Each structure stands twice: as structure tokens, then as C-alpha cells.
Amino acid sequence: MLLHRIWKRTFLVRSFSSGSALLRRFESLEALKCSLPKEVVLTNDQDTTKYLNSFKDVFDYTQESSIIEHNELERAVTCLVLEPRKLSESTFKKILLLKPPSFMLAPLLAAFQKRDTNHAISKDTGMVALRHSLWEADIKNAVKIVDLTSASQQYFEMMKTKRNKTLLKSFVGLCGSVGAIDIILRIFELSPTIGVYGMVLTYIGNLSFFGYLAFGGKMAGKVSHIQWDPSVGANTRFIRADELLMFSKIAEADIHLSNNDGFVSEGLREELEKRDMEPLHPKSDLLLQEYWQSGGDNFEWVEPDQDPADILWKKHIENKKPNLLKGDIKWTDKLITGVEKPATAEHA
């Protein structure tokens, strides 16, 4: 009896002073909510550990909870994010690394953004949430994650600031080049003229401008599976480059989950069109066209490469129901599955 009490106490009480904490089980949602801290002050590593363990309790409880409780659990983690007076992005990233349920990722990001509406959530933090959502085959919430990170207004403003700093550095470098030319001319006792300066400035300025137009957009928009609409300018491509990158990850997962012969689902295609993006034709489709045009010349059958990470992910989602965007099933498939087989007469 005494050993049973000791075990029960050890199982229910979490130790913060040593290594990894033991899992706590809660009989009800109310019991879980009562265990969460009402005030959070993060002054040292021990406080941070206790704070992260509170999130771990919620995430563990969610695994066995009902859908009815999900709204309450979302509110619980939202309050936990908003509670501390100071919460660094590195600590918030640790929360995401605890692998919360995919439906909680967007509320967590929204709550952290609410703490400072002028601060943009970094690309690294957004990618942690995006990878976990795609790991759980949750395309719909992955799109929400992009909207809260690389497609947010705060992120666009940050990229504009980055662009302006780059242009300022280029201008300073241009002035430095002109100054160096002026010094060289004076060393050789040559009289510098306005015409020489104008020629140099015009040459370097044109070179920089046309170089940016030629390569800037291409360098910022080179991803797999999707591309920008041709009408999108180089400036917009630079500002929204990370949004394109994240959607390329979503498109890659969507292609596998929708089983649409290498094409993205109809729902994702519509979402891409809203953002001035378009899917690329599958490589297999392009190779097939080239095969028929060339009559099979210079083609050789090879075994496809197997990425260990892809193999693990495919095994992980075998028993999961993908959360795709609308229009993920072709109308022909719906028609086929809706036709019942004719009943056969039994022989006497």
C-alpha cells in the first residue's frame, strides 16, 4: 500500500529540479486548467522549464481529448503565450518544438504575434511550425501558418526594410567608387571633370539596375513545384520570396497526399492563383511529352531515388486522414465511388 502511494505521488507530481519530467495525466479538462500557472515570470532556466512543461501537459492531454474540448484547449495555450511579460522568440520556438497538435499551431502563432503587432515572426520559427503541420498531413493549417508568418504584413514590412538597407549600401558603395576615382585622378594630377563622374555614375547605376531586373527576381523565385505568375515584378518577388518557398513545401506534400498524378489538388491550385502563383508541370509529365516527341530516343529506364526522410514521412501518414483544401477529390472519383455494384441473384 505504501509503495502504491509513493508511485502515485511520483506519477502525478512533476520534478523540475532534475532531467526530464514525468508525464502527468489529468482526469478532466478542468483539472488540467487548474494546474496551469495563473502568473508567469521567466527569470531563469528553471522558470522556463516549468513554463514549457505547462504546454507539454496541454499537448499530451490533447492526444486523448475529444473534438468538443479543442476550443477550450486552444484558449488555454493562447493564454499561456500571452501571460508572460517578456517572451523571447527563442523560447516560443521551443514551444513549437514540443510538437503541438497541428490545429494548435496557427492559434499559437497568432497569440505570439498579438504580443507585438509590429514584430514579424522569423522565417526559421515559421518553418518549424510548417514542417510539423505537413508532417501531420494538415495542408489547410499549413496555409494558415504561411499567412501568419511569411505572408503577414509585418513580414512584408521587414523585407521592405531589408531591401531599402541593401539599396542604401549599394548607393554608399557607388559614392565610394566615385570618391576612389577622384583620389586616383588627383594623384596623377589630372583634373577631374563632371563629365567623368557622370559617365561612371551612369555606367554603374545602369549596371546595377539592369542586373537587379535580370537576376533579382529569378534568384528570389527559384523553388520546386510552383513559380510566380509572369506578371509579378522583381520587387514583389523579393519581398514575397519566403512565402513562395513555404508554398513550394506545401505543394510538394499536397502532390503526394492528393494522388493527382503529380499535380497539385484543385483547392491548392485556387489558393495559389489568389497569390499570383502557379504550379509547375510535373517532371514526369514533361519527360513523357519529350519521350513522345523524340520517339523514345536517348531515354533510359533508371530506378527512382529514395529519400529516407520521404520514406519515414510516407509511413507516418499511412493511417492519417489528410486535411486538404477544398476540391481535393476529382469529380470522376466521386462519381465512381458513388456507383453501387448491381446485386447478383442467388442460385437456389
pLDDT of residue 303: 58
Q: b/e map of 295-326 (b: 16 or more CB within 10 Å)?
A: eeeeeeeeeeeeeeeeeeeeeebeeeebbbbe
pLDDT in tens, 70-89: 999 999 999 999 999 899 99
Beta carbons of 60 and 89 less than 8 angstroms apart: no
Residue type, 124: D
What band does 43 get if pLDDT is binned at 50, 70 and 90? confident
Residues 73 and 96: their CA atoms lie apart, in Å, by 15
Q: Extract the C-alpha cell encoding 264.
A: 497539385
pLDDT of residue 32: 87
Packing angle between helix 153-187 and helix 241-258, nearest 10 degrees?
130
pLDDT of residue 320: 77
Mean per-residue pLDDT over the chain, rounded:
78
pLDDT in tens, 260-286: 878 899 999 999 999 999 998 776 555
CA distances from 94 to 48, 49, 114, 120, 225 (A): 10, 10, 18, 17, 30
How does DSSP classify residue 213? I
Question: The cell 484543385 sits on which residue?
Answer: 266
Chain length of the chain: 348
pLDDT of residue 319: 72
Q: With DSSP H G I counted as helix, E B as strand and the rest as coil, what are the percentages for the chain, rounded to 5? A: 65, 0, 35
pLDDT in tens, 182-208: 677 667 665 655 566 666 666 666 666
| Residue 40: closest CA among 52, 31, 30 | 52
Residues 222 and 214: their CA atoms lie apart, in Å, by 13
H or E stretch at 77: helix 70-82
Residue ranges of domains in the chain? 8-149, 156-298
pLDDT of residue 113: 96
Residues 128 and 122: their CA atoms lie apart, in Å, by 10
Q: Determine what percent of the chain is predicted with pLDDT higher than 90.
A: 44
Residues 14 and 166: their CA atoms lie apart, in Å, by 50
